[in-house]
Structure 1
Amino acid sequence: MKKAPLYNIGKIALLLMALLLLTACPEKKPTKPDVVIDTGTIAGRVLGDERAALEGVTVSVGTNSTLTDSEGQFILPGVEVGSHVLVNFAKEGYIGNQKNAVVSKGRTSYLENSLRTPITRTFASTIGSELKEGVNTITIPADAFVKPDGSSFIGNVLAEYRFYDPTRLVDLNAFPGTYSGI
């Protein structure tokens, strides 16, 4: 039997090494382009009781938020474009609310909103109470509150309430919507 020449063994080893390197190279994966989200800005003003500027209101859309300044004004950039973007308004000690905004790419939408302080009343659950604001009345009868097990709740009840009257300018901005007609 004839022995293989030494140079043939070297060629075979080189060929095997090249095949090993080619199969070990990672496959080139195509890169995905960055997703571009069209955004706009929401700006506006928040008023409190009797239309006074309200500072420190948190204005948010999703996880994007800002605070109103001393004049009740805010600017919220980077809001995703949409025709019914839900804007949340909240401040400790006030009744929060929401408004819808139309956000267009590269544009600023303006919103004006009102937050009001609640009217509070504490009363005994066994007595009940009448809660009044202007001509509006809520009657809560005695023993109206029950525990999850169905038994009567006995103790003090703290009620917070506020009526918004759409005929009063001071209340009008608290309602969602644009109030526009055809």
Structure 2
Amino acid sequence: MLGMTLTGCGSSRDSSSSVEPSEVMVERSISALIQSAQGVALADVEMSVAGQVVKTDSNGLAKFKVNLPKSATSVVVRLTRAGFIHQSVVVAVKDLDHITANLLMVKQTVNVAKIEDAQVIESIYSQAKITIPANAFVLPNGQPATGAVTVEFSPWDIQSSDLNAMPANGKWLLYFHL
């Protein structure tokens, strides 16, 4: 299994944060525990929920309240910390009370000069490869992503503690930021 984050050009606008002016809002309490794959508490993990951003404390904990449209059934939760694979998940509003996640460290960084070109990017770990067709990435405005990006590789070793950081037992998605 291979985790990958791309950073470079474009926008990471959170489309879930737009609210109709007449929408009734409700306050939800959220608590979170964020750890490394090895179970070590991670401080300074940035959590983004419905446009609100908080950071975990030295114990990997975050407690906060967020206002959501009463009609909302799910929200996107994003977790980011330098040196770790970023993760995003769609969480049912009814399940927001307590969030747990394990993040996997970035194991290799590769600079790509032209993300619009077809190419194969190879990891030095586990013979992992990513084949990228030409113009595979598209910006939110529908235009092809172009230019330099950084690819962060983190192959998961499913026979080690890396399995703990498997995107939330299959519920977490990889975060691609272009």
TM category, shorter: 0.5 to 0.7
What is aligned with 2:75?
85
Q: 1:68 offset after TM fit, Å? A: 0.4
Separation (CA, whole Å) in 1 of partners of 2:170 and 2:27? 22
Q: 1:162 offset after TM fit, Å? A: 1.0
Runs of 4+ displaced beyond 6 Å? none
RMSD (Å) for aligned C-alpha atoms: 3.7
Matched, 1:41 2:8: no
Q: How does 1:10-89 map to 2 (within 5 A)?
A: 36-80=24-68, 81=70, 82-89=72-79
Greater C-alpha radius of gyration? 1
Q: How does 1:1-182 map to 2 (within 5 A)?
A: 36-80=24-68, 81=70, 82-104=72-94, 109-120=97-108, 130-134=122-126, 136-138=127-129, 159-164=151-156, 169-174=163-168, 177=171
What SS does the aligned partner of 1:50 have? Answer: coil
Count of residue pairs the alignment pairs up: 125
Higher relative contact order (CA 8 A, sep 6+): 2
| Conserved 8 A contact 1:95-1:115 | yes
The structure with more helix, counted as a fraction of residues: 1
Percent identical pairs in the alignment equals 19
State the one-letter code of the partner of 1:86.
Answer: V
| Conserved 8 A contact 2:42-2:56 | yes
Q: 1:76 offset after TM fit, Å? A: 2.8
The structure with more strand, counted as a fraction of residues: 2
Q: 5+ unaligned residues in a row in structure 2: which ranges?
A: 1-21, 114-119, 132-148, 173-178
Q: 5+ unaligned residues in a row in structure 1: which ranges?
A: 1-33, 141-156
Using the size of structure 1 for normalisation, the TM-score is 0.53
Deviations 1:11-58 (A, max 9, x none): xxxxxxxxxxxxxxxxxxxxxxx8641221221111114121100011
| Conserved 8 A contact 2:46-2:53 | yes
What SS does the aligned partner of 2:171 have? Answer: coil
